[in-house]
Structure 1
């Protein structure tokens, strides 16, 4: 895991279906992610978005 990945644990996902979600963008804070999601919802009212804490798990091996 890189240092840069540690800096952006909050992500906005576009919910396509029950099995496919697309990461739209990553942010340092939850408030930034929620603000961006509100803008996206205003631009695309028919699309579902969700803010999640998505910190990658480091695999040791």
Structure 2
């Protein structure tokens, strides 16, 4: 298999696990600050954009 495919799949899976872990930590705290919520939204958006870019790059190499 192609190395780019493994990098893409690994990035998506590891990123998803990290985002779920961060979200659980935010939910366990009683008072979530606005800053932490905004950082989570920005991180999720950046992860999504990077994932879409990697998937598009992989499909263009097929």
Shorter-chain TM-score: which interval? 0.3 to 0.5
Q: Whose relative contact order is higher, 1 or 2, with alpha carbons under 8 Å and at least 6 apart?
A: 2
- Larger relative strand fraction: 1
TM-score by length of 1: 0.33
Larger radius of gyration: 2
- Larger relative helix fraction: 2
